[in-house]
């Protein structure tokens, strides 16, 4: 659909909530072209008149950054949730220009010198701690952005940045397209044996969307895709081993052949990152990455990974041995025949038998609205905030999107968020994420300054409503929602008034998962879980026996789960720290070498997992995937503070919750995360709670 030419371009408004109903792909190129021209002029003017004071440098710089972030942020958001060929083309046209502008801004010599002068000025001591940290971060970030480079080195650095941005977008699009390109249409009842009703309904709906108008969950046809809400339950429940193998092989070889092959992109990305590191004076890209993180060094990260590997490896070996003998006991397979496509299926059968329930049984107890109500009640109990829906107020990008407001104890509204809960494989990328729509800051108002309230995007990819049923969530989807909401809380409950350090901004990447992983722990807290679980038809509360089983199942195969994350983390670190080392090793060779000590069942020869590893090749986690484990140590230890206070002691919980809100959630990037953690916990973090929660250490 095209915009009417006479309409003013909505992407140039530059503030407030995005008018999604008026934004079209053909707004992108003219808006960004005009905006960059204006901002180039403002930046040139600022460079010519830099005064090394807060008001003379930081404030005008923030205004420039905020304008480009507002417009480009909307476009990037729509690329994730409403992807289309037209939007892609517009995005790819303007992305190089936006990268050039950010390069120019981050490499501005006058601004860099201005920050350094401010650091040594007489006004320095009068600045607040958060302002000082902003200045110090700006100096560090400028140095990591190549501000110290000149001549050919600078030109080369900028060319690398441009190429990396383009490669990252291509990588992501290839994964999306490869995921979409594969589907399995099943027409016979024996082909869907074992599949739960929820999956039959989802796959019949997918078949209808693909043109099979008469498809029903009872008689099919059923369209299975590589989209996680379709792929995962199929692998867990399909009794057809041949079809599981077919699907598994398709999943692990996504974006690994033909015109969507990401392997050449991976090699190029790694070469460019290594070259960038050398230009900046570092020996590897991992060192560049860690220069702005909480972990002090690659050695420190590898030490943590090795500690967790030793705690989980033997447990993972035991997990696999038990699974093999379990499958053999069912006369299904010889113990040595268990393959990758059998793991999810037999793990699910063993879990059902061991804990006497399956994940599907719980779905009716977790309708989205009930889960949200339980999540909001919890937020009120531990953080003192009230969350209510304000649907119908702002424009949204899809009818399923909801909008909420967050109020504090006094009833004053302090933040808002959008929730886009359901999977839409045709236009929305997989996974779940939180992003900023608007960041908190003190800005100029009509009568003096006012606080601009934060607004978050919370995006999930859970099972959508099907036919006359609401969205019925798996327990895993419930955990994912809690996780993203934790990110949202840090963005929304900040009390920092400087935009460069409010919410998640300026928080070291390996500490940013602390609030999100912390929130997941509440899914295993009895009264919280029982408040979430209510049958969507009968209103019956989640039976106590299910809670006990979930608790018992929490540590089921946790050695395997942890080892898998360690494998990803170590591969990422290896590729960015020691590869390319001048040997003939390919990235895949490096991955397989690491797999020898971090996997129990080696990857198949055609396993091309790296080709879909978006986190590190298109998602900001390059040489940072370890952050999940690093932050999980912090989050488990933080939750242990609530356990020590007594989880059923409402008064004590509220007190610890208040302290958590005032430190971890409120301080944002205004202090170093270790100082923030110590302010909450009174000491440095410890791995004991994480290993205990995973059943890998004696209680």
What positions carry a catalytic annotation? 484
Contact of 382 with 647, CB cutoff 8 Å? no
What DSSP string runs through 612-625? G-HHHHTSS-TTTT
192: number of CA atoms within 13 Å, CB side?
26
Q: Say which DSSP state 697 is in.
A: S
How far apart, in Å, are the Cα atoms of 574 and each of 232, 439, 593? 29, 35, 10
Length of the chain: 699
Question: What three-state secondary structure class fits 106?
Answer: helix
Angstrom distance (rounded) from CA 229 to CA 219? 20
Kindly report whether the peptide bond that precedes residue 580 is cis, defined as omega within 30 degrees of 0: yes
Angstrom distance (rounded) from CA 125 to CA 131? 10
Give me Rg for the CA atoms of the chain. Answer: 25
Angstrom distance (rounded) from CA 408 to CA 390? 16
Cβ neighbours, 10 Å, residue 268: 13
Q: Which of 226, 224, 232, 228 is closest to 207 using CA atoms?
A: 224
Angstrom distance (rounded) from CA 518 to CA 378? 13
What DSSP string runs through 538-601? T-PBPPHHHHHHHHHHTTTTHHHHHHHHHHHHHHHHHHHHT-S-SSS--HHHHHHHHHHHH-SS
Q: Which of 471, 554, 463 is closest to 228 using CA atoms?
A: 463
Q: CB-based burial of residue 406 (10 Å sphere; 0-12 exposed, 13-18 middle, 19+ buried)?
A: buried
Q: Which of 624, 638, 627, 647 is closest to 690 using CA atoms?
A: 638
Stated as kind and residue range, the H or E segment containing 14 is none
Enumerate residues 6+ apart whose C-beta is below 8 A from 208. 215
How far apart, in Å, are the Cα atoms of 123 and each of 52, 67, 120, 155, 442? 9, 28, 8, 35, 20
Enumerate residues 6+ apart whose C-beta is below 8 A from 528. 374, 378, 522
Determine the longest span between alpha carbons in the chain, in angstroms: 80
Ramachandran assignment for 8, one of left (phi > 0), alpha (psi -120 to 50 degrees), beta (any other): beta
3-state helix, strand, coil in the chain (%, to 5): 60, 10, 30
Q: What is the 3-class SS of 115-160, one letter each residue?
A: HHHHHCCCCHHHCCHHHHHHHHHHHHHHHHCCCCCCHHHHHHHHHH
Question: What three-state secondary structure class fits 460?
Answer: strand
Q: Which of 513, 566, 569, 560 is closest to 694 using CA atoms?
A: 560
Cβ neighbours, 10 Å, residue 304: 18
Contact of 204 with 220, CB cutoff 8 Å? yes
Q: Which residues of 237-263 are buried (b: 16+ CB within 10 A; e: fewer)?
A: bbebeebbeebbebbbbbbbeeebebb
Cβ neighbours, 10 Å, residue 443: 16
The DSSP bridge partners found for residue 225 are 183
């Amino acid at each position: 659909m095209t915009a009417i030419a006479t309409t003013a371009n909505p992407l140039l408004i530059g503030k407030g909530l995005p008018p999604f109903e008026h934004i079209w792909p053909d707004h992108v190129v003219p808006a960004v072209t005009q905006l960059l021209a204006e901002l180039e002029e403002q930046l040139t003017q600022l460079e010519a008149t830099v005064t090394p004071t807060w008001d003379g440098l930081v404030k005008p710089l923030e205004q420039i950054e905020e304008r480009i972030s507002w417009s480009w942020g909307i476009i990037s958001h729509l690329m994730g949730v409403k992807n289309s060929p037209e939007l892609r083309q517009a995005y790819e046209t303007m992305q190089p220009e936006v990268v050039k502008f950010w390069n120019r801004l981050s490499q501005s010599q006058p601004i860099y010198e201005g920050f350094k002068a401010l650091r040594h000025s007489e006004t320095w001591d009068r600045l607040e701690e958060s302002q000082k940290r902003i200045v110090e971060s700006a100096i560090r970030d400028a140095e990591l952005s190549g501000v110290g480079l000149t001549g050919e080195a600078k030109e080369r650095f900028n060319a690398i940045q441009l190429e990396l941005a383009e490669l990252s977008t291509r990588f992501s699009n290839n994964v999306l397209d490869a995921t979409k390109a594969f589907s399995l249409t099943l027409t016979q009842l024996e082909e869907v044996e074992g599949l739960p009703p929820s999956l039959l309904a989802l796959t019949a709906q997918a078949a209808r969307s693909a043109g099979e108008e008469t498809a029903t969950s009872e008689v099919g046809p059923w369209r299975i895709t590589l989209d996680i809400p379709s792929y995962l339950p199929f692998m867990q429940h399909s009794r057809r081993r041949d079809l599981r193998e077919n699907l598994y092989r398709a999943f692990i070889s996504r974006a690994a052949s033909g015109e969507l092959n990401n392997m050449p992109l991976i090699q190029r990305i790694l070469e460019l990152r290594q070259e960038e590191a050398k230009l900046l004076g570092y020996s590897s890209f991992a060192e560049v990455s860690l220069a702005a993180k909480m972990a002090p060094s690659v050695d420190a990260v590898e030490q943590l990974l090795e500690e967790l590997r030793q705690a989980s490896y033997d447990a993972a070996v035991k997990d696999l041995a038990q699974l093999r003998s379990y499958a053999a006991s069912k006369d299904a397979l010889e113990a040595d025949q268990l393959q990758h496509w059998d793991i999810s299926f037999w793990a699910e059968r063993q879990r059902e038998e061991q804990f006497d329930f399956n994940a599907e049984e719980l779905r009716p107890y977790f309708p989205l609205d009930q889960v949200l109500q339980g999540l909001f009640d919890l937020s009120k109990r531990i953080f003192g905030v009230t969350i209510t829906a304000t649907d119908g107020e702002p424009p949204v990008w899809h009818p399923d999107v909801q909008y909420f407001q967050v109020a504090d104890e006094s009833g004053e509204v302090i933040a808002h968020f959008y929730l886009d809960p359901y999977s839409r494989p045709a236009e929305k990328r997989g996974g779940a994420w939180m992003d900023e729509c608007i960041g908190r800051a003190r800005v100029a108002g009509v009568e003096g300054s006012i606080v601009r309230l934060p607004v978050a995007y919370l995006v999930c990819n859970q099972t959508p409503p099907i036919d006359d049923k609401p969205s019925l969530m798996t327990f895993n989807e419930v955990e994912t929602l809690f996780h993203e909401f934790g990110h949202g809380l840090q963005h929304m409950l900040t009390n920092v008034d400087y935009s460069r350090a409010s919410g998640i901004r300026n928080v070291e990447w390996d500490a940013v998962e602390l609030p999100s992983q912390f929130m997941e722990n509440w899914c295993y807290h009895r009264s919280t879980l029982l408040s979430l679980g209510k049958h969507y038809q009968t209103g019956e509360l989640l039976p106590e026996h299910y809670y006990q089983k979930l608790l018992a199942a929490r540590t089921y195969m946790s050695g395997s789960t942890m080892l898998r994350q360690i494998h990803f983390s170590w591969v990422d670190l290896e590729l960015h720290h020691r590869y390319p080392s001048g040997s003939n090793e390919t990235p895949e060779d490096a991955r397989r070498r690491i797999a020898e000590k971090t996997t129990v069942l080696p990857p198949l020869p055609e396993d091309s997992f790296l080709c879909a590893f978006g986190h590190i090749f298109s998602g900001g986690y390059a040489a940072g995937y370890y952050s999940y484990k690093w932050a999980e140590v912090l989050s488990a230890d933080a939750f242990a503070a609530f356990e020590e206070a007594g989880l059923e002691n409402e008064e004590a919980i509220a007190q610890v919750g208040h302290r958590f809100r005032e430190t971890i959630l409120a301080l944002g990037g205004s202090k170093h995360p270790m100082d923030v953690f110590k302010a909450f916990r009174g000491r440095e973090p410890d791995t004991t709670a994480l290993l205990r929660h995973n059943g890998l250490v004696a209680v």
